[in-house]
Structure 1
Amino acid sequence: MSIDKSQIRNAATVIVLRDRHENPQILMGQRGAKAAFMPNKFVFPGGAVDPDDAKVPLCGPLTETCATRLCEDSVPDLAHALSVAAIRELWEETGLILGRPGQWSGDIPDDWRTFAATGHLPDATGLQFVFRALTPPGRPRRFDARFFLADADRIANDLDDFDAACDELSHLQWVPLARARSFDMPFITEVVLAEVEARARETTPPTSVPFFKNNDEESLFLRLRGYPMPN
């Protein structure tokens, strides 16, 4: 049985890492009790790619290394939309700005108006693609999620000010990396944490990226190495 890709949404998740060299901390929040997907669990900020994300310009693009790994076993032109979605979701769910000062030109999509009003342009330069996971069959919602690691030094505003966040995540907090596993989190988040711990002091993108691929026949743990897709 093949995967019905129409039922799987592309998604982007951001792991913001603070004080990575001395006392590493990651930003997490708790999903609501009535959420259809992973209720009550502590997660990283993230969500599905919106159609307008592909149209939003970046003042700084992903590194070539990350872009080529995102394109493996994927739609070739999806890397831009994924990086834009990561920045948008981080802003919506935490109020943190991954961007540089600048003025927008042309039409601004509705979902980006509050971000643009801060006087910043989205910047993907500091995003590192570190993990990919496909939600297993049988779940109420399925996502093909790409996980990005971002150094907190890239955030343009106050790291402790979540006043602009929406209400999708509660109890937003900086969690010491050494204590993160004590929180109630999804299995895949625990797996990603292991990768974050291994890369906590690395400042360059990984040469290969783990891919937890769950389809209707089997679960595979693959490595994305940035091979170009066949024509």
Structure 2
Amino acid sequence: MTDAPEAPAEKPVDKTALRDAATLIVLKRDDPRGPSVLMGMRGASAAFMPSKFVFPGGALDRGDAAIPLAHALPEASARRLALEAPAGLGPALAIAAIRELWEETGLILGTPGAWGPEVPEDWQGFAETGHLPSAAALQFVFRAITPPGRPRRFDARFFLVDVAEIASDPDDFSRACDELSHLHWVPIAEARALNLPFITEVVLAEVQATLTGPGGSYTPPASIPFFDNLGPRATFARLY
């Protein structure tokens, strides 16, 4: 009997390569201080944006595409995400945004429901809350590619969701991991006083400009801003 061939080892992730990522902006419109967003501070030793205040988010995981959504993305967001992107990437990015929100803040974006018998390890805590991930309320609002020369590079899609869609106490961060500290609601008008990445300032300005509906609700714009650093020069485009 001959020995079975060894399974090929998984290739290590090249952290300097451009990776797809998702970020979730949770908006609280009824804050007495004005429309506010949930932010936290990255650690001082983080390789990417150390000590900066950011929204919850992170890179797409290999398993995200295999997680089913209880409810799909809104049609306009799904269509715009499909521009210049492989088929199926939009739903995977929505899953990544929901997963990162859960991991970094402990907040639940989902609908009541039971998982099957096999729950991926990084979704077990979420599943135990009795919820399935849902993208029905996610609005795709911004895309940005990290400039060359950074220790981490991401093709990040930013989503917006109203706090009313959160299925848990929006002020309870007790189940959050330790990746973000100082989690709190920041009035958009005061956010620039924090130590923010440049792109976060740009995204906040774009989001603020869309809060023109009743009660300061989100009004979908005719196109989505795209800060593109794929080429030799940065360009600012629109996704229609």
TM-score (norm 1): 0.92
Correspondence for 2:62? 51
CA contact (8 A) 1:133 1:144 kept: yes
Distance 1:143 1:178 in 2: 27
Question: Following TM superposition, by how much is the alpha carbon of 1:83 offset from its aligned partner in structure 2, in angstroms?
Answer: 0.3
Correspondence for 1:71? 82
Distance 1:172 1:189 in 2: 16
1:219 has 2:234 as partner: yes
- Of 91, 102, 110, which aligns to 2:102? 91
Secondary structure in 1 matching 2:27:
strand
Distance 2:171 2:127 in 1: 20
* Runs of 4+ residues deviating >4 angstroms: none
Distance 1:193 1:28 in 2: 12
1:19 has 2:29 as partner: yes
Question: Following TM superposition, by how much is the alpha carbon of 1:76 offset from its aligned partner in structure 2, in angstroms?
Answer: 2.5
Question: Following TM superposition, by how much is the alpha carbon of 1:21 offset from its aligned partner in structure 2, in angstroms?
Answer: 8.5
Question: Following TM superposition, by how much is the alpha carbon of 1:7 offset from its aligned partner in structure 2, in angstroms?
Answer: 1.1
Structure 2 portions without partners, runs of 5+: 1-13
Residue by residue, what CA displacement relative to the aligned partner does 1:142-179 show, whole Å, maximum 9, x if unpaired? 00000000000000000110000000000000011110
Q: What is the Cα-based RMSD across aligned positions, in Å?
A: 1.6
Residue by residue, what CA displacement relative to the aligned partner does 1:40-89 show, whole Å, maximum 9, x if unpaired? 00000000011111011111110110011011122122001000000000
Structure 1 portions without partners, runs of 5+: 226-231
Distance 1:29 1:124 in 2: 22
TM-score (norm 2): 0.88
Residues 152 and 78 (structure 1), Cα distance of their counterparts in 2 relative to 1, 3 Å cut: same
1:206 has 2:216 as partner: no
Distance 2:81 2:89 in 1: 8
Identity among equivalent positions (%) equals: 62
CA contact (8 A) 2:210 2:220 kept: no
Structure exhibiting the larger radius of gyration computed from Cα positions? 2
Correspondence for 1:165? 176
Distance 1:43 1:20 in 2: 21
Greater relative contact order (CA < 8 Å, ≥ 6 in sequence) = 1
